Structure 1
């Protein structure tokens, strides 16, 4: 009986610790994503270069880009991510992979034209050692009542 109680106690402690670790990792990914939006707005290409995985892919409404292409477009101002207003965020953890979904309104300058679009942005982060790297970022434009 005593061994059963001790066993149940240890299981409860391990479950709480695991849940706390999970919640802390979710917060870490959410904060990293928020920082990434600011770095993109500020055109901090060197900081973004360190965040983006070497094989990262970026999917936009007009096509896909490699890491080098995305950094080049940010640096040149071909796309200036001026402001991302985040409305909803969720994180799903699968092993060393974090999938973050952001529902945002993005104010950007694209090809010299200022545009505002509602997006669901999917960001996939991969943990390499103790560092999270962005492996994929995809923009899906959301329909608004005026689109229907």
Structure 2
């Protein structure tokens, strides 16, 4: 039986709370400026929340140095949250440059467009690097 570590428990909590936020956001989709973008934010929160909770469940299997372990755990969670927050801001303001498919037909002021682009881009890069580190931390379970 796998044990739940302190970091694992924190990730499970963050993931389930993030999942709950996604469910609430789903109910609010009709209330925002761009409902397609809000749907994207809802799905991002629900899917990323499940991923973070799953990371917590398997965390006792991860073998990394202390620094890399913290980076993989909280870098992935923070990266996912940044992506979601950027998408959510875009859904409320109409920003579309960072996500042109969901944002088609909408626009926002330059500051908002830049803010959303920075949040989505940096969150994507951070979560990509953190999840890559996590994969390397799981290699020892293959034998």
TM-score normalized by structure 1? 0.26
Which structure has greater helix proportion?
A: 2
Which gives a bigger RCO, structure 1 or 2 (Cα 8 Å, sep 6+)? 2
